[in-house]
C-alpha cells in the first residue's frame, strides 16, 4: 500500500535528518506494471517545422492548419517517415546531425488512484550509454572551463569536445483551456525566433525587450510560448501581450503544464522539474532540484565530491568515456565545499550543476517521486504525479476527464529542436483516451 501523503512527507522529513533523501524518495508505486496495457507512441524529429512554417506556403496543409484541423487528419501514422525525411537534412533541417535516428518509440503505461497518476515510460536510447552528463567543467592546468555540449554545437561537431548533454523526457498537458492544443499539440508552442530556429534574434535584442529582457524575465534567448500570449497575426516572439493580460490568462487557466524528467539534473535525486508555458517557458514558483555549481566571477566550482564519501574529489576526462560514477554532485549526499588548493590536475572534471532534493521547494518541487533507470540500452522512467498538486501553476487532473498530452524525448546529447515529439495524445483518467490510466483498487 502507498502511505498517505502526510505520512510520506513525515517519513521523508525525519529520515532526511539522518540519511539524506534521494535514496528515500518513495518511487515505488503500488502497481504490477506487467498487468497493465502498453501503448506505443511514435515520436518524430520535427526539425524547424515551427508554428510559422506550418502556416506558411511551404506547408501544403497550411490553410487547414489555420482553420484548426488536426495534424493527424493528414499525417496519421506518418510519424516515422516524416521524421526520417526531416532528420536527413533539407528545408526543415539545414544542419543535420550525422547518423541521428528520425523517430523514437515511447512505450507508455498509465494508472491512477484517488491521489495520483502513475506513468511508466520505456524507450531505447541511440547511444550505448545513458545521457547523465551535463554542463561539466574541466580543469586545464590553470583554469576551469565548460567542457562538452550538445551534438549541435560547433565545437562538438568538429570533434574538439565530446557530446555531453542530458537525456530528457518532457510532458506537456492541456486541460482544454489552450485553444487548438487538442488538434495541434506541441507545435503551438514552437516558433521562429526561438533558440536554434529561423529568425533567432541576437541576445542583445532579447535583453532589451521589455518583457523578456532585463526589465522583465531577465532572459537573453526566446523559449516556448503560446499564440494567445502574442498580439500580432504572425505570433512574433517580440509582440508580447502586457504582463497584466498574461496574468489574467494565467489566472483563467490558459497555460500548458510542462514537466521534464532530466537524466542529469533531476533523476539522481528521484525528481522531475515542474514548469508551464504561456508567454515563455518558465519554472513554477519555488526551487528546482538543480542549481549552478559555478561562481561566475571566478569561473570556479563551488562544490566538489566529498573524498570521504566518494573516495575522490573529482572525475576525470577518461571517466566520461566509460560513464562516471557518480555522475552528479548532490549537496546532501556526496558534496563538500570546493577547495581551490586541492592540487587540481589537468583533465580533472567536476559537474557544473549542484543537485539537492532537500533544497527543492514549492510548486517547482511537485514531481518528487520520479525514478529512471537505464538498463539493456533503454530508459525506464516511473513517474508519480499528484492529480491535484495544490498549486495554481499546475493543471489539476480529475478522474473521469480526458486531457491532451504532448510527449518529447531528448535523446543522445541534444537540446532544442534536435528532439523527438509526438502529435497530441489523449489521456483519460479512468476512462476514454488514446491512453487510459487504469483505476487501481
Ligand atoms: C490538410 C492536410 C494537412 C494538415 C491538417 C497538416 N498537414 Fe502537414 N503536410 C501536409 C502535406 C500534404 C504535406 C506534404 C507531404 C508530406 O511531406 O507529408 C505536409 C508536410 C508536413 C511536414 C513536412 C514533412 C516532411 O517530410 O518534410 C511537416 C513537419 C508537417 N506537415 C507537420 C504538420 C503538423 C505539425 C500539422 C499540425 C499542426 C500538420 N502538418 C497539419 C498536409 C497537412
pLDDT tens for 236-255 read: 999 999 999 999 999 999 99
Return the pLDDT at 197. 97
CB 267 within 8 A of CB 371: yes
Q: Which residue, judged by its Cα, is nearest atom 36 of ligand 1?
A: 71
pLDDT per position as a tens digit, 331-373: 999 999 999 999 999 999 999 999 999 999 999 999 999 999 9
Q: Which residues contact 409 (CB under 8 A, 6 or more apart)?
A: 43, 104, 106, 123, 167, 168, 169, 170, 419, 420
> From residue 215, how far is each of 148, 209, 231, 235, 394 by CA, in Å?
32, 8, 20, 22, 26
Cα distance between residue 36 and residue 73, in whole Å: 29
Return the pLDDT at 211. 96
pLDDT per position as a tens digit, 12-34: 333 333 333 444 567 666 789 99
CB 169 within 8 A of CB 121: yes
Q: Which ligand 1 atom sits closest to the C-alpha of 70?
A: 5
For the structural domain made of 5-131+166-289+357-439, what CATH number should be given? Answer: 2.60.40.1190
Q: Are strands 378-386 and 116-124 parallel, antiparallel or unpaired?
A: antiparallel
In terms of phi and psi (left: phi > 0; alpha: psi -120 to 50; beta: otherwise), the region of 270 is left
Q: Which residue, judged by its Cα, is nearest atom 39 of ligand 1?
A: 71
> From residue 302, how far is each of 148, 164, 296, 313 by CA, in Å?
19, 21, 10, 13
Look at residue 151 and tell me whether its pLDDT is greater than 80.
Answer: yes
Residues at CB less than 6 angstroms from ligand 1: 46, 49, 54, 59-61, 64-65, 69, 71, 73-75, 82, 85-86, 92, 184, 187
Q: Record the pTM.
A: 0.93
**What integer best gives the mean pLDDT of the chain?**
93
Count other Cβ atoms within 10 Å, centred on residue 254: 17
pLDDT per position as a tens digit, 52-103: 999 999 999 999 999 999 999 999 999 999 999 999 999 999 999 999 999 9
3-class state of residue 384 by DSSP: strand
Instruction: Report how far ligand 1's centroid is from the alpha carbon of 279 (Å).
Output: 26
Residue among 51, 44, 120 at smallest CA distance from 76: 44
> From residue 161, how far is each of 50, 165, 257, 261, 319 by CA, in Å?
30, 12, 35, 25, 14
Amino acid at each position: 500500500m502507498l502511505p498517505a501523503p502526510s505520512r510520506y512527507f513525515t517519513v521523508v522529513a525525519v529520515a532526511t535528518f539522518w540519511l539524506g533523501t534521494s535514496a528515500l524518495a518513495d518511487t515505488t508505486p503500488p502497481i504490477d506494471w506487467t498487468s497493465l496495457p502498453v501503448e506505443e507512441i511514435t515520436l518524430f524529429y520535427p526539425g524547424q517545422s515551427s508554428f510559422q512554417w506550418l502556416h506558411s506556403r511551404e506547408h501544403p496543409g497550411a490553410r487547414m492548419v489555420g482553420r484548426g484541423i488536426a495534424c493527424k487528419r493528414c499525417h496519421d501514422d506518418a510519424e516515422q517517415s516524416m521524421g526520417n525525411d526531416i532528420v536527413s537534412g533539407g528545408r526543415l533541417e539545414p544542419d543535420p546531425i550525422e547518423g541521428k535516428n528520425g523517430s523514437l518509440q515511447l512505450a507508455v503505461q498509465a494508472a491512477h488512484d484517488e491521489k495520483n497518476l502513475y506513468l511508466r515510460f520505456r524507450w531505447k536510447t541511440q547511444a550505448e550509454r545513458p545521457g547523465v552528463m551535463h554542463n561539466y567543467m574541466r580543469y586545464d592546468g590553470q583554469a576551469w572551463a565548460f567542457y562538452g555540449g550538445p551534438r549541435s554545437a560547433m565545437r562538438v561537431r568538429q570533434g574538439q569536445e565530446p557530446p555531453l548533454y542530458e537525456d530528457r523526457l518532457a510532458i506537456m498537458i492541456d486541460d482544454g483551456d489552450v485553444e487548438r492544443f487538442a488538434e495541434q499539440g506541441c507545435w503551438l508552442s514552437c516558433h521562429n525566433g526561438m533558440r536554434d530556429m529561423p529568425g533567432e534574434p541576437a541576445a542583445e535584442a532579447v535583453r532589451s525587450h521589455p518583457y523578456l529582457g532585463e526589465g522583465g524575465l531577465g532572459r537573453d534567448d526566446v523559449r516556448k510560448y503560446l499564440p494567445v500570449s502574442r498580439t500580432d497575426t504572425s505570433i512574433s516572439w517580440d509582440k508580447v501581450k502586457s504582463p497584466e493580460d498574461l496574468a489574467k490568462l494565467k489566472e483563467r487557466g490558459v497555460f500548458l503544464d510542462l514537466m521534464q524528467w532530466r537524466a542529469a539534473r533531476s533523476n539522481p535525486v528521484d525528481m522531475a522539474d515542474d514548469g508551464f508555458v504561456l508567454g515563455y517557458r518558465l519554472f513554477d514558483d519555488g526551487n528546482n532540484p538543480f542549481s549552478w555549481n559555478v561562481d561566475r566571477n571566478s569561473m570556479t566550482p563551488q562544490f566538489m565530491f566529498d573524498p570521504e564519501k566518494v573516495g575522490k574529489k573529482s572525475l576525470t576526462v577518461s571517466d566520461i568515456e566509460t560513464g562516471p560514477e557518480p555522475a552528479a554532485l548532490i549537496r546532501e549526499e556526496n558534496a563538500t565545499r570546493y577547495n581551490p588548493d586541492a592540487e587540481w590536475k589537468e583533465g580533472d572534471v567536476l559537474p557544473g550543476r549542484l543537485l539537492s532534493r532537500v533544497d527543492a521547494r514549492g510548486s517547482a518541487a511537485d514531481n518528487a517521486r520520479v525514478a529512471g533507470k537505464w538498463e539493456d540500452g533503454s530508459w525506464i522512467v516511473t513517474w508519480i504525479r499528484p492529480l491535484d498538486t495544490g498549486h495554481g501553476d499546475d493543471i489539476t487532473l480529475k478522474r473521469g476527464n480526458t486531457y491532451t498530452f504532448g510527449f518529447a524525448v531528448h535523446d543522445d546529447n541534444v537540446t532544442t529542436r534536435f528532439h523527438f515529439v509526438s502529435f497530441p495524445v489523449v489521456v483519460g483518467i479512468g476512462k476514454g483516451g488514446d491512453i487510459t490510466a487504469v483505476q487501481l483498487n
